[in-house]
Amino acid sequence: MIRTGSRISRRGFLKGSAAAAAVFTIVPRHVLGGPGKTPPSEQVNGALIGCGGRGPGTIGQLAPTVRRIASCDVQYLDKADNKTTYADFRRVLERKDIDVVAIATPPHWHALISIAAMEAGKDVLCEKPFTRVIAEGRAVVNAQKRYNRIIQVGTFGRYGAVKSAHSRLTHKIMASGLLKKCPGVHICRGGLKVAEWSGMVNAQPRPVPPNLDWDLYCGPSPLRPYHPHRTGGTHRGYWDYEGGGLADMGQHHFDPVQWIYAKDDTSPVEVDVHAPTAHPEACGMWGWVELTYADGMTFVMDSTEWGKGYDRKAERDVKIEDLAEEDRKKVQDAPDPEGWPTFVEAIKSRKNTGGCAEPAHRCATVLHLANIAIRMGRKIRYDPVAEQILGDEEANRLVNQPMRAPWHL
């Protein structure tokens, strides 16, 4: 110990300096934290379930805070070691050292794995679309409330929208409830990959690869004969697993739009469609879908890839002039909406992200209703509170499709 006021010899100074240097030499930089380094006290352990396609990118965007310590995929039968690599997601969820699960499987697994992960005490980042059918989304919402976990759908468009002054004003107008009849029309033209993610019709069965658990891949969906087009990115072309390019890209397009027009807690009440007869298994071509809310706000998906383009209504933004004069100042003086924590921030603060379960479910419902109308080839009416299609039992059966045993919500 060196006392204040004592003389320090050159040899003593060098010995002390060497000891201090040794301490800093043997302590790794990541332990101390700092720019680009996450100290152990802030390190979060994560697992990736569904390692093809989007998988690495999904969990990669959580680095460096979330460290990937486990991977799971049904094509890992030849690699599974029950330590870091798994074929069955249930083995991953049994691990107590995993805090966060990133789900990048096809959507027919999203609801079941999300619910099981939250029940096991994990937070969840789930790829879009949020679910495969409407009833699954409501089950995930209920699970988030029940287990008080953080869950985020893998699309972040609303984080950019809230930074726009125009979008914030539109949101305030719509959220105020002062606009009794909304004249707004938002048209999404193109960018929905309709032809790209169409399924194959009458594909001949192929032998199942030896490293693939085909039964577990199909999971809650029907056990169809194997064909490689039903796996990988092209799985999107089959109703069993997803909903074509509309479901693949739609949540990106409509998540920010849904927030801008204050529709995070409701759904369209009427859906009209222009499309050919749909195949019962394979997603195919369609022209446009028009979705109208109870207040008159209209969302439109115009594929630009089949038939006559949408021309029933012109695109129309919501303006402050749409309000009664005495209501304009109320809206303009209202505080601007705040942003949301990112997923990484939310797992520390325990505050919901922008794309948490309810808005993610409502956005996915837009896509599911569009696909139901396409599959029916007719207009449908929807109750956003009961979450049921009205007066059309055939269409309503697609709201809550049964799962293949033993899987169930």
Query: How far apart, in whole angstroms, are the C-alpha atoms of residue 8 and residue 326?
Result: 79
Q: Which residues touch 122 (CB under 8 Å, ≥6 apart)?
A: 93, 98, 99, 100, 101, 149
Instruction: Select from 109, 108, 253, 131 the least CA-distant residue to 193.
Output: 253
Specify the pLDDT at position 1.
Answer: 36
Cα–Cα distance list, 121 to 51, 146, 337, 401 (Å): 22, 11, 31, 27
- Sketch out the chain's domains with CATH numbers: 40-157 (3.40.50.720), 160-396 (3.30.360)
Full pLDDT tens readout for the chain, 409 residues: 333 344 445 455 445 444 444 433 444 444 455 565 666 667 899 999 999 888 888 899 898 999 999 999 999 877 767 678 999 999 999 999 999 999 999 999 999 999 999 999 999 999 999 999 999 999 999 999 999 999 999 998 999 999 999 999 999 999 999 998 999 999 999 999 999 999 999 999 999 999 999 999 999 999 999 999 999 999 999 999 999 999 999 999 999 999 999 999 999 999 999 999 999 999 999 999 999 999 999 999 999 999 999 999 999 999 999 999 999 999 999 999 999 999 999 999 999 999 999 999 999 999 999 999 999 999 999 999 999 999 999 999 999 999 999 999 9
Query: How far apart, in whole angstroms, are the C-alpha atoms of residue 28 and residue 8?
Result: 30
Report CA torsion sign: 282, 288, 294, 295.
positive
Q: Give the distance from CA 30 to its chain's centroid.
A: 31
Specify the pLDDT at position 14.
Answer: 44
Cα–Cα distance list, 187 to 209, 265, 293, 362, 370 (Å): 43, 21, 14, 18, 14
